[in-house]
Amino acid sequence: LKLLLKNFQLSDDIAFRFSNRKWNQWPLTAEKFTAWLQALNPKEEVINLFMDYETFGEHQWADTGIFEFLKKWPGQMIKSKSFEFHTPSEVAQKLQPISPLYIPYPISWADEERDLTAWLGNEMQDEAFRLLYQIEDKVKKTNDSNLVQKWRYLQTSDNFYYMCTKWFSDGEVHRYFNPYNSPYEAFINYMNVLSDFSIRVDNHIAIHNSNGAGTQKALVTKAKKDKLVQTAPVPKTGNKTKKGEKENTNEKK
């Protein structure tokens, strides 16, 4: 499997720092960004700029100048004659891997640590995550596709991202993406939803068990009736004589 690694510094210069007026490189122009790329080590065969589509127009609004930058920058690159644009498939076909990459622990694009601490980095996130998966067996036991789907919605990583308490170098990014006033508000809301959902699951199981017990009782009752019918004497056909009476015959004396 060929891997293309993100140049996070240059990617984040566009994705997150482009409109930050406190950034010492603001404003970022097409000419400046092209000069940075030209200054990179010539041994770098490929420069991967990875960012969300939402960068253009949502994370960076139109009034930041992001669209003007996007219009001018490709032309600057082509004019320099130092670079070519390729799709990931073209790069994978054109270049060979330089070395194997061993990744023994989870990684991500998030924050300076590039790990999972944006989602599982504090006690609130850990507690919410623990309780979510604590009810996994119960949810699956319901065999209810609607409940299973809602449980999967609760696994959405954004729910845990909103509880992140990093307020240092990555704080601006977290605040931008968070619809809540604080991580604590996000935690309280999520736990309330999770609690209500857990009650729904318990109620579903209780009703199912109750219906199952009623069905089982009905089956037992029917089985008892069947047993009574089977053990009742079965009348035989033909004439019978009472004790002390002679059997009637058609013979004449």
Q: Domain check: are 58 and 141 in the same one?
A: no
The answer to whether 105 and 4 are in contact (CB under 8 A) is: no
Burial profile 145-167: b = 16 or more Cβ within 10 angstroms, e = fewer:
eebeeebeebeeeebbbbbbebe
Would you say residue 40 lies in a domain? yes
**Tens-place pLDDT, residues 87-143:** 999 999 999 998 999 999 999 888 778 899 999 999 999 999 999 999 999 999 999
What pLDDT score does 252 carry? 42
Domain that holds residue 26: 8-94
Could you tell me the pLDDT band of residue 80, with boundaries at 50, 70 and 90?
Answer: confident
What are the φ and ψ backbone dihedral angles of 60, each rounded to 5 degrees? Answer: -115, 105
Looking at the 3D structure of the chain, how many domains does it have? 2
State the angle between helix axes of 145-154 and 183-231 in degrees (0 to 180), rounded to the nearest 10: 160
Question: What DSSP designation does 243 have?
Answer: T
Is there a domain that residue 32 lies in?
yes
Query: Is 246 domain-assigned?
Result: no
142 and 205 together in one domain: yes
Looking at the structure, do residues 56 and 145 belong to the same domain, yes or no? no
